[in-house]
Structure 1
Amino acid sequence: MRAPGAPSLAFWGMVGRFPIAMRSIGCLMLISAVTGSLGDAGLVAAAMLVSQGVAAPFLGRLADRHSQRRVLLGACLGHAVGMTLLLLAVGLELPLGMMVAAAVLTGCTSVSFTGFMRARWASFVDQRTLRTAYAMESMLDDTIFLLGPLLVTVLSSSVHPAGGLVACAVLTVTGSVFVALHRRSEPAGAQRPGERPRRAIGVPAVWVLMITYAGMGFLFGAIDVTMIAFAEERSAPGLAGVLLALIAVGSLFAGIAYGAVDWRVSQVTLLVFTTSVLTLSAVPLAFAGSLPVMAVLAVVAGVAVSPALIAGSTLLESVAPKGALSEAFSWLNSFGAMGIASGTAVGGRLADVGTSAHAAWAGAAGGLVALVLSLVGQPVLRAGRPAARPAPDMTAAEH
């Protein structure tokens, strides 16, 4: 944070991605309040999330080719239009298809702000402090997921049902503009004359990390369901939010500690270690017998979250093509989000037919997938960053 421009980059980056923890809740609260249908609200929110997950890597690719600044400014304009259309469609009670179409437009213009910020830090700081920068980003993410749901709930319930989504639009546009204008952190293209940059999606090491993140995301989603189902089983559904917040608290403090240590082992080893702890920490959740015990275990389960994500982010920076970091981080976040969605769906189904313990075991299974991938993929991950491919010799081709 001593580097010139670092505080403003961190602040506006946090502003820009605050809506990540707010959009779905704001959408659910607004549409259910206007239409009375939670099913319709869930469909619109899902359309927004799925379209965002699909579009984000392509927006990242555009940022690598044409600069983050152009993509951020163009996308935030499109996002404002999409959000306005969504608010109008809901306010005028237009057919569900119109709401879904507006939600898809909103999602397709939502860049992976988390990925863009990590690409900027990789360009802004040197390798010695990069892990610390990623630790700070992870801590800010935890803070966002602690405060974001509270903020959107207060705005939607106490101010106006549309207040949450309006705040999301304002935060997205404001954060995007100020980050785009932060020229010092703008990732520079790594393409040299005579080279054709590789796409991140074509690098085996990136695929290993993407699937590893999907496994971790599955664990996160299943554990979220575990906490909610456990609280309901104890006739205290209101405490589900407390249990989820305790996971974030454990992750927050673990991120502080992890980022402060100058680790002397390789990033691949750190990824294996953190995914091991992450997987093992999910197992005791299946045996919790009371709310106080589950509260302690929730903090323990959160301890490995930030370190695992930081290790994965740091490793991705070292294996992804230098000129494709925005795309690489966008793919990583999209796979993580798909993992969370899958873990939530599977965990919810298992909790319905069984108990919260079944959802916890599903989470441990997702963590096991991440652990196995981090072990099996070690040779690929240790190979390092791929070189750019030579551009075709057009002169020779003409002759």
Structure 2
Amino acid sequence: MSESASPSNSGLGSYLRLLKSPGAGALAFWGVVGRFPIAMRSIGCLMLVSAVTGSLGDAGTVAAAMLVSQGVAAPFLGRLADRRSQRAVLLVTCLGHAVGMTLLLVSIGLELPLWAMVAAAVVTGCTSVSFTGFMRARWAAFVDQGVLRTAYAMESVLDDTIFLLGPLLVTVLSSSVHPAAGLVVCAVLTVTGSVAVALHRRSEPASAHTPGEHRQRAITVPGVWVLMITYAGMGFLFGAVDVTMIAFAEERSASGLSGVLLALIAVGSLVAGMAYGAVDWRVPQTRMLAVTTCVLTLSAVPLAFAGSLPVMGVLAVVAGVAVSPALIAGSTLLESVAPKGALSEAFSWLNSFGALGIASGTAVGGQLADLGTSAHAAWAGAAGGLVALVLSLVGQPVLRKGESAARPAPETATATATAGQ
């Protein structure tokens, strides 16, 4: 591992110290390149299909097929990466992704039947690895435990930045350059980032594959299930809150400001995530998960009572404050409770359940907003957060057991430090 835990691993300078370690800057940069399309792909697909066919319904169907297939395939690609190697999976899937994206662009451009577009979208989705999960598994193999929280915090901040800039970038490309430009850039970024990260040998997680040996799957670990369902609850909150912002702006005949409200949530999350990662917390991560999910749930409640756009803008920032800290605490705990040879799979499951929660929260929140008001969507989000909070509390014994198992005993820590000297 490239970085040693030290008492100075706190403060904003912890990010600079992390990035100055050999290979860390390159890993962070290419990781951003590889996962930038996460915030662009579905929007680019929606814009291209609707521009060519004139049907938002068809566009939604194609985009949904791509997202659902990605969510289903990602955990299995993660397990394959744990058993074989991330390098092999990244190199093979990026080629398959390029083929799938080419088929998708051709099928849309030629206005082939909807089933053909959906089939191409499924190929594209099935060859999209959980890049976020792969990166977190790499950081776990690349840095020591004392620096891992900072690495996960940095990843969360980068994710927020991507989701701030990605939609803007793909919208500009698709509307100002060419309707297909957004998806073309997505394909280029995915292939480039995948190849660069695959060739980053320093951070390559060790393969868990040994002929004749049975390795425990991440999905069989109770602590992983607790975190998966917790993430699904948080994802439900995120999806419902997004709908709340859009519906609130539309109710006030200011739909153009919905993007601003959503961006303010990301700003709150980004700032809080950076601050959270800069603090050397002495509180167990199990407790931090419960605290952050509690704050996350409570922050959704005031959204139901906002009376004006300026007030909602302030509440949007507040609603984002607990987002990154909750995700960072969850990621840190997952690294502790998951089998060491199954981190890529574990993070892929976590991301898939989070995505499932977002999709469900968006759907339910949208229905409630249509039947009532944006306040109903906000209450739905709070309900999703409550599920996450209950799971984080009920699952404390299981998570604490995994966290304790991952923490070295005093004798072991002393021996390790002596050996290092």
Say whether the fold is shared (TM-score over 0.5).
Answer: yes
Shift of 1:191: 6.4
Note the 1:134-145 alignment, pairs <5 A.
134-145=152-163
Contact 2:265–2:317 (CA under 8 A) maintained in structure 1: yes
Contact persistence 1:80–1:169 (CA under 8 A):
yes
Q: Equivalent residue for 1:390?
A: none
Q: Secondary structure at the match of 1:187?
A: coil
SS in 1 for 2:206: coil
- Matched residue, 2:68: 50
Q: 2:351 aligns with which of 311, 327, 333?
A: 333
Is the contact made by 1:203 and 1:386 (CA closer than 8 Å) also made in structure 2?
A: no
Q: Is 1:307 aligned to 2:325, yes or no?
A: yes
CA distance in 2, matches of 1:34, 1:292: 38
Give a deviation string over 1:253-306, Cα, whole Å, max 9, x none. 001100000100101000000000000000000000000000000000000000
Distance 1:78 1:2 in 2: 34
Which among 87, 90, 93 is matched to residue 105 of structure 2? 87
Is the 1:319–1:386 Cα contact (8 Å) retained in structure 2?
A: no
- In the alignment, what sits opposite 2:121? 103
Structure 2 partner of 1:290: 308
Where does 1:1-399 land on structure 2 (aligned, <5 Å)?
Answer: 1-190=19-208, 196-384=214-402
Q: Distance in 1 between matches of 2:229 and 2:110?
A: 42
Q: Is the 8 A contact 1:214 1:338 kept in 2?
A: yes
What residue identity is the alignment partner of 1:144?
I
- 2:82·2:208 contact (CA, 8 Å) conserved in 1? no
- Answer yes or no: is the 8 Å Cα contact 2:333–2:403 preserved in 1: no
Query: Offset of 1:382 from its aligned partner?
Result: 1.1
d(CA) in 1 for partners of 2:248, 2:402: 43
Looking at structure 2, the residues matched to 22 and 111 of structure 1 have their Cα atoms a distance apart, in angstroms, of 15
Query: Aligned partners of 2:336 and 2:346: how far apart in 1?
Result: 11
Does the CA contact (< 8 Å) of 2:300 and 2:382 recur in 1? yes
Asked if structure 2 preserves the Cα contact closer than 8 Å seen for 1:321 and 1:385, the reply is no
Distance 1:188 1:156 in 2: 40
Match of 2:412 in 1: none
Q: Counterpart of 1:324 in structure 2: which amino acid?
A: A
Residue-by-residue CA offset, 1:20-52 (whole Å, 9 max, x unaligned)? 000110000000000000000000000000000
1:193 Cα deviation from its structure 2 partner: 8.8
Aligned partner letter, 1:199: R
Instruction: Give aligned pairs, total.
Output: 387
Letter in 1 for 2:234: M
Letter in 1 for 2:27: L
Measure, in 1, the Cα distance between the counterparts of 2:99 and 2:257: 37
How far 1:196 sits from its partner (Å)?
Answer: 2.6
Mark the runs of 5 or more structure 1 residues left unpaired by the alignment: 388-399
Q: 2:23·2:202 contact (CA, 8 Å) conserved in 1?
A: yes
Do 1:274 and 1:304's aligned partners in 2 also have CA atoms closer than 8 Å? yes
Summarize deviations over 1:195-243 as a string: whole Å, max 9, x none.
5320000001000000000000000000000000000001100000000
State the alpha-carbon separation in 2 of the partners of residues 275 and 319 from structure 1: 19
Distance in structure 1 (CA, Å) of the matches to 2:389 and 2:93: 35
Please, which runs of 5 or more residues in structure 2 have no aligned partner? Answer: 1-18, 406-421
Which SS does the other structure have where 1:94 is aligned? Answer: coil
Is the CA contact 2:84–2:208 (under 8 Å) kept in the aligned structure 1? no
Map Cα deviations across residues 102-154 of structure 1 (whole Å, 9 max, x no partner): 00000000000000000000000000010000000000000000000000000
Cα gap change, 1:321 to 1:159, in 2 (>3 Å): same
Give, in whole Å, the separation in 2 of the partners of 1:201 and 1:245: 34
Instruction: Indicate the percent of aligned positions where both proteins have the same amino acid.
Output: 87
Residues 288/385 of structure 1: CA separation in 2 closer, same or farther (3 Å cut):
closer
